[in-house]
Amino acid sequence: MKVLILGGTRFVGHLLAWRLVAGGHRVTMFHRGTRVVPFADRVETLLGDRTTGVLPSLIKGREFDATVDFGAYVPGDVEPLVDTVARAALGHYVLISTGQVYLLREGCPRPAREVDYDGPVMARPEDEEGAGQWDYGFGKRMCEDLVSHEKSHATRVRLPMINGPRDPHRRLEGYLWRLLDGAEVLLPDGGERPMRHVFSEDVARALAEMLCNERTYGQAYNLAQDETPTLREVLERMAWRVGAPAKLVPVSTAEIEAEGLSMRAVSPFSQRWMSFMDPTKAKSELGFVHTPLWEYIDRAVTAFLGHPPSDRPEGYTERRRESELARRVVRHG
């Protein structure tokens, strides 16, 4: 196949490109050139910033069997491509979306199925973080709506929080540093809320396998793991894996906020804006199979221990304040 990848030089797109190149496919990558691509000598590179409107001119007259778009966040990112998609110049167009499109739905069930997308959208929150998250989800919904008809030869892939090596948000890594530094680890609201994420390698494999599958045209799919662990269970497993005592201290969200700490930095798996999706459709129609949760957690820990980064993730600078809060909570019991 001739495959065009829009964006995606950091995480899942990086894995997808490697998989396609290794499989003998011809890959073209469009990106801004801000990162070194290790397989650059084996792919064609198109450099540019899509917000400047340069993308249509770069692909004019080209024909691809499939296109995977990791970089569409607002309608303006997709609108220039709609006519191109209709002419099949981009072939099978796969739009990478997010489970956050469900979080905007009023009364959306947990777990959310693909059919739960339709319905009234909640009002934009007034707080800064909520407004930003709402904007992200609403932008993705509008991108999806532009290509949701079957004639577009488009597939929408909705992803929850993605875990694995090379995660640019460094979420699992942030927890690992906290477990390894010997200080107490905050467990927001007891860490009992169930989560359903997905492993990065599973997403890359599923994307590669669905390319040019006509059954997926006009469809949307949730790619997610089956397991629904709690944060406590994940941290206890990682602590056991590295041989560290799990000094987990339950603390309320209100106490974290009163301390002026960011929940996103302290515990990214405890955010309010974290989707919880049902993967049944992808399993039944695409044969989606995911790596068992504890296996991929172990693989992520192994990768970290083998090559620990020289710096710390964003938010770790407030680590001292986190441990001070934990000690106060323990003292006042």
List, for residues 282-295, the tens digit of each pLDDT value: 999 999 999 999 99
Establish if 83 belongs to a structural domain: yes
Strands (E), 208-298: 220-222, 248-251
> For the chain, percent helix, then strand, then coil, each to nearest 5?
45, 15, 40
pLDDT of residue 88: 67
Q: How many domains is the chain partitioned into structurally?
A: 1
pLDDT of residue 35: 76
Please compute Rg for the chain using Cα positions.
Answer: 21
The CA-CA-CA angle for residues 108, 111, 113, to 5°, reads 75
Q: Which of 12, 3, 4, 11 is nearest to 206 (CA)?
A: 12
The answer to whether the CB of 139 falls within 8 A of the CB of 146 is no
Rounded CA separation 24/161 (Å) = 30
Q: 156-212, pLDDT tens digit by residue? A: 999 999 999 889 999 999 999 999 999 999 999 999 999 999 999 999 999 999 999
Q: The domain that contains 171 carries what CATH number?
A: 3.40.50.720
Q: Measure CA 165 to chain center.
A: 12
pLDDT of residue 86: 55
Establish if 145 belongs to a structural domain: yes
Q: What is the pTM of this model?
A: 0.94
Exposure class string for 245-268: b at 16+ Cβ within 10 A, else e: eebbbbbeeebbeebebbbbbbbb
Specify the 3-state DSSP secondary structure of 299. helix
Rounded CA separation 210/66 (Å) = 10
Across the chain, mean pLDDT equals: 93
Confidence grade of residue 150 (pLDDT, cut at 50, 70, 90): low
Establish if 283 belongs to a structural domain: yes
What mean pLDDT do residues 26-40 have? 84
Residue 72 has pLDDT above 70, yes or no: yes
pLDDT of residue 299: 93
Establish if 134 belongs to a structural domain: yes
What mean pLDDT do residues 95-115 have? 96
Q: Using the structure block, give the residue that is written with the tokens 């319905």.
A: 119
Least confident of 19-23, 61-65, 88-92, 117-121: 88-92
In which domain, by residue range, is 196 found? 2-328
Establish if 333 belongs to a structural domain: no
Q: Phi then psi for 235, rounded to 5 degrees? A: -70, -40
pLDDT of residue 85: 65
Establish if 222 belongs to a structural domain: yes
Rounded CA separation 184/75 (Å) = 44
What mean pLDDT do residues 319-332 have? 92
